[in-house]
Amino acid sequence: MFSRRDVLATAAAGAAMSTTAAAAASFGNPDNPPQGAINAKNPASVTDPGPQNPAIRDQLPSAFSPPATDVGGMPQIWASFNTAPRRIQNGGWARQVTQADFPISTTISGVNMRLSPGGVRELHWHQAAEWAYMTYGNCRITVLDPKGRPYVADVKEGDIWYFPSGYPHSLQGLEPDGCEFVICFDDGAANEFNTLLVTDWFAHTPPSVLANNFGEPAETFANIPLHNLWIYQGKVPGDLSSVRKAMTGADRDSPPEPFTFSLASALYVSQTKGGTLQLADSGNFKVSTTIAAVLQTMRPGALRQMHWHPNADEWQYYIKGKARMGVFNTGPNVRTMDFNPGDIGYVPRNYGHYVENIGDTDMQFFAVFRTSHFEEFSLSDFLKHSPPEMVAEHLNINPAVIANWPGFSAGIMPE
């Protein structure tokens, strides 16, 4: 019987390792029957005569050749905007990944949108709250709060915005090349193609009612569009201060708290040799009462510590670089997947997970949680702050090493 255990034991013996080290090195698949290519005695056991699509297969090597420690049948934790159809109109486009496309994502749905310079996502509102991260360019956002206070701001790469449920808003691309961003709704079923649109309501209201509502003759509305606009090509807007003045008029204040925030320039909540974590939740971005977000930047070879979140599922968007994530649940169920720019990851609440930068450049992603306050448990911190003798008994290790383990602040290893 030729197994992974034999291979590693042989390698260990060859390297003159101790019996203990050989035993430690031989773990890698605790299950019976053993899984993983390393345990497949017959080489034909791992080949795939097809049919197959090598371009897709090679993007996801951990799916095709999972680590031998993967086990069970966890639902898919990977999705991507790269495979979502774009709805293209004059002025821009959008594509989305909702719970209908990605069943595990019950708490968050994602939209990726591009607006040309002057391109407008029309005035609208919706049931879900809207959080967004700017990945490119420049955008102007407008929103009104329920006390009638208008807000307008220009955002750039690394900035975020948040609109609570029902707050009416618009988005417009600016010069020189418009913008691209990722929206997260705080409801996995929310749909960007099904929002409450100003043009829809006008077109479906009797002209006499429009006349009475606005105190104008019905002819004023003779040329309204009979179909909604959703996204349209508008004129590049004027400077921010004159637009703000036109929105507030003579008698309106601005809201006390901004609806925009620069996540990419937020203070580091963790900074190590391995990378940085930047946080925006209702603690520093007051209006964001249902979404917490962490921007995670990792150096080549770095590891986002094994951890979990007690208060919310995690929805991830991969901005740059190459990543691999492993997710653990009871069962056991363990799945490992690869992530490239434009991909989406999802980790249910309390499921253990880690993320590796497996590329040779910095890797960056953001994680979004449907909660007012970000919370996390680090496995290493948990064990470091449990009775050392007990931890040593669990793991059959020397208790003396435990005090040296990284604490909570080491979000990304190495420290």
C-alpha–C-alpha distance, residues 351 and 329, integer Å: 5
The three-state DSSP-derived secondary structure of 322-353 is CEEEEEEECCCEEEEEEECCCEEEEECCCCEE
**Residue of 4, 5, 114, 126 marked active site:** 126
Residue 185 and residue 112 in contact, taking contact as beta carbons nearer than 8 Å: no
Asked if 121 is an active-site residue, the reply is yes
5, 95, 124, 353: the catalytic one is: 124
Q: Where are the beta strands (DSSP E) in 12-147?
A: 78-80, 87-89, 92-97, 109-115, 119-125, 130-144
Q: Return the C-alpha torsion angle 50, 56, 58, 61, nearest 10.
A: -90
Least separation in angstroms between residue 318's CB and Mn ion is 13
Q: Distance between CA atoms of 288 and 285, rounded to whole angstroms? A: 6
In terms of CB distance, is 37 or 189 closer to Mn ion?
189
Which amino acid is residue 287, in one-letter code? V
Q: Known catalytic residue: 307?
A: no
Clarify whether 415 is annotated catalytic. no
User: Which token pair is 6?
Assistant: 């034999």
For residue 162, which of 193, 180, 184, 187 has the smallest C-alpha distance? 184
Instruction: Write down the least CB distance from residue 245 to Mn ion, Å.
Output: 24
The vertex-181 CA angle with 136 and 368, nearest 5°, equals 120
Nearer Cβ to Mn ion (130/343): 130
* Beta carbon nearer to Mn ion, 180 or 314: 314
Q: Name which of 202 and 354 has its Cβ closer to Mn ion.
A: 354
Q: What is the smallest separation between the CB atom of 170 and Mn ion, expressed in angstroms?
A: 9
State the catalytic residue, choosing from 5, 121, 304, 353: 121
Instruction: Point out which residues bind Mn ion (CB under 5 A).
Output: 130, 314
Q: Which residues contact 310 (CB under 8 A, 6 or more apart)?
A: 349, 350, 375, 377
Give min distance, CB of 146 to Mn ion, in A. Answer: 16
Q: Which of 169, 304, 309, 353 is catalytic?
A: 169
For Mn ion, the closer of residues 39 and 296 by Cβ is 296
User: Whole-number minimum distance, CB 148 to Mn ion, in Å?
Assistant: 19
CB 266 within 8 A of CB 294: no
Q: Which is nearer to Mn ion, 66 or 411 (CB)?
A: 411
**Which amino acid, one-letter code, is at 54?**
P
CB under 8 Å to 46, separation ≥6 — which residues?
Answer: 37, 40, 65
| Catalytic residue status for 169 | yes
Catalytic residue among 5, 95, 180, 192, which? 192
Minimum separation from the CB atom of position 2 to Mn ion (A): 38
Which of the residues are catalytic?
121, 124, 126, 130, 169, 192
